[in-house]
Structure formats: structure tokens, C-alpha cells
Amino acid sequence: MGPEVTLRDATPEDVPAVLRFVRDLAEYERLLHEVTAAEADFQDLLFGPNALAFAALAEIEGRAVGGVFWYYSVSTFSGRPKLFVEDVFVEPGHRGAGIGLALFRHVARKALARDCSGMEWRVLNWNAPAIGFYRRIGAEPVTDWTTQRLSPDALRNLAS
């Protein structure tokens, strides 16, 4: 049996760890060049007066080794919130020890506590290990919908 893993909601002091996990995930996904966020951005996003998101950390012996980042959206069809997992990351050396499962269980409990109609996230098509894990926990792919995105330039153009 390995060392004990502790899960807890992030605090303002954890912002450096949250940003580290975002950068580590972006590097794994080959998207590090897209990360422009700074600690101040996460401080505001998670703990500012108009906080919009949440984070939790998995720790071993007081050191963060994984994290999950989520927010709530709505299901107009059910008239209830949905929990959207934006990012989940476990350091490579700690994968396979149940930390990812513990993080997903943590946010599933948050979703149930808020009476959410469901929980969703995205995964890159090439990420076979993650897709396999998601199938094992009961997730099903949504194939009838395609994600659409406006880049910052397209967003400004649309707004003007």
C-alpha cells in the first residue's frame, strides 16, 4: 500500500499549485503554447469577488500531486445545474494509484450536493489512457454534438 492521499478544496495559497497543474496538463496535451494565465488570473477566477470556478487538490505528505478544476453550467432541459470538469491532472509518477478516480469522485459528490443533472468534460481524441479510464468509471462519449469555439479575435469581431 502506498502513501495516504488527502483530497481538499483549494485555498488562495494553492494558486501556484493550480497553475502548475494547468501548465503540466497543457504540456502533456501539447498545448503549453496556449497557456497565458498567471497566478493573479487564478486568484481572481477561484477566489475573487466574482469567482466562477473551483479547484481541489490531491496531496501526499502535504505536497500537491494532482488537482481538478471545475465550474457549473446549466441544463435548460432539466432546469438544473451541470458540473463541468475543465481540467484534471495527476503527476505522471503518481498515476495508476487511484488519485484520478478519487478526484472524479470528489467532484461527483460536489455535483450531487448541488443537485446537478450530470457531469461533463472533454478529452482529446488521441488520449487513449484517459479515454480508457473514463470508460471504466462509466462515462460515455457524446457523439451527436461538436464543440464550437470563438478565438479571442473572433470574439472581438463578433462583439463589435
Please give the positions annotated as active site: 134
Own/partner long-range contacts of 52-57 (Cβ < 8 Å, ≥24 apart): 53/86, 54/9, 54/10, 54/110, 55/9, 55/10, 55/14, 55/18, 56/7, 56/8, 56/9, 56/10, 56/103, 56/106, 56/107, 57/7, 57/8, 57/10, 57/14, 57/17, 57/18
Which cell numbers hold the place of 18? 493550480
Q: What is the rounded distance in angstroms from the CA atom of residue 114 to the CA atom of residue 130?
A: 26
